[in-house]
Amino acid sequence: MIYDRFSRLPLYEEAVPYLTEIYGELSQKDLLFLEPGTYYTKDNGIKYMVQSYETAEKKQPELHGRYADVQIMVGGTEKFGFDVIAERPEAFNEADDIGFLEGECRNHLILSSMDAVIVLPGEPHTPGLADGKPEQVRKIVVKIPVA
């Protein structure tokens, strides 16, 4: 997992492909006003989703098998759990590349405006947690094929 600012994503291009392309495309948009939905980059068709949701007190950790998640906090604040003690789920949705785990996060980050987290395949994580009381947030989640 990599934690940094959105503006520094291109620094990690060698480890995770397409980050320069994603940064270039998203930095030209007003991310606060981009409508929720699914979009694709113009050059390589990398999928990114604009999400608006309320953070939760508790959620199940998740993991992915083929795609890296690049999560960019655009508005609001959330707790992001990592360092999960759990086994790979028995039920893994291959079509959506997601499995949910029974387990707890040992560590958390607080994500606020323009923070970014890159989560590689196989790394359990718990996004969308409330930092105190639940609040409405806006986030962009990019799915990058890496495995």
Chain segment 98-138, per-residue pLDDT in tens: 999 988 899 999 999 999 999 999 999 999 999 999 999 99
pLDDT value at residue 102 = 87
Tokens representing residue 14 in the block: 């060698």
Query: CB–CB of 44/21 below 8 Å?
Result: yes
Q: How many domains does the chain have?
A: 1
Domain span at residue 66? 2-145
Structure tokens of 39?
A: 């979009």
Query: Which DSSP string do the residues of 86-147 spell out, in sequence order?
Result: -PPPSSEETTTTEEE---EEEEEEEE-TTEEEEE-TT--BEEEE-SSS--EEEEEEEEEE--
Report the distance separating Cα 36 and Cα 140, nearest Å.
9
The CATH number of whichever domain residue 115 belongs to comes to 2.60.120.370
pLDDT of 81 > 90? The answer is yes
Model-level pTM?
A: 0.93
